[in-house]
Structure 1
Amino acid sequence: MGLILLEICDLNLLSESALAELLEQYPEVAVMSYECQNLCGLCRMRPYALVNGQRIFGKDIKECIENIRVKIEEELSLFA
């Protein structure tokens, strides 16, 4: 069960393995991995994910994961 849905594209630079530490820290997050999300322009340019439907990205994987972490915290604060 997840309060937060994190969606990633298999073809993007950001993979489930890159998110492993983040997912351990936040058991409230459910991950859905798709073959394609039809966001090819964004997908080719930088790592990204959808967090509860909102696009989150960064210039590299590290920045993207940090931006995802911030968004997760924002979403969790709505349930506090």
Structure 2
Amino acid sequence: MGIVVVEICDGSLITEIPLEEILETGYPEVAVIENSCLSFCGMCAKRPYAIVNGKRIFAKTAEECLELIKQHIEAELAVYA
């Protein structure tokens, strides 16, 4: 089984939804890490985003971003299947 790390900025618009609860409950292989800053200045205030295993995932809404994050998690986990 693989490990997928999802990093979020505490100022990101993705924090509008309980991302950690949703992902860690649905995917035991996922660890959500909330940082005070991910050094993508201004991006957190403009649109919801997260970093999944080093790749930036972003969308116009938090819900849309969550779906893209889930798709990326599924792709990452498929490597270990």
Give the TM-score normalised by the residue count of structure 2: 0.88
Distance of 1:16 and 1:59 partners within structure 2: 13
- Report the alpha carbon displacement of residue 43 of structure 1 after superposing the two structures with TM: 1.2
Deviates more, 1:51-60 or 1:9-18: 9-18
Poorly superposed stretches of 4+, deviation over 6 Å: none
Which residues of structure 1 form unaligned runs of 5+? none
Alignment of 1:1-80 (within 5 A): 3-15=3-15, 18-19=18-19, 20-80=21-81
Identity of aligned pairs, percent? 49
Which residues of structure 2 form unaligned runs of 5+? none
Q: Give the structure, 1 or 2, with the largest relative contact order (CA under 8 Å, sep 6 or more).
A: 2
Query: Does the 8 Å contact 2:23/2:30 carry over to 1?
Result: no
Give the TM-score normalised by the residue count of structure 1: 0.89
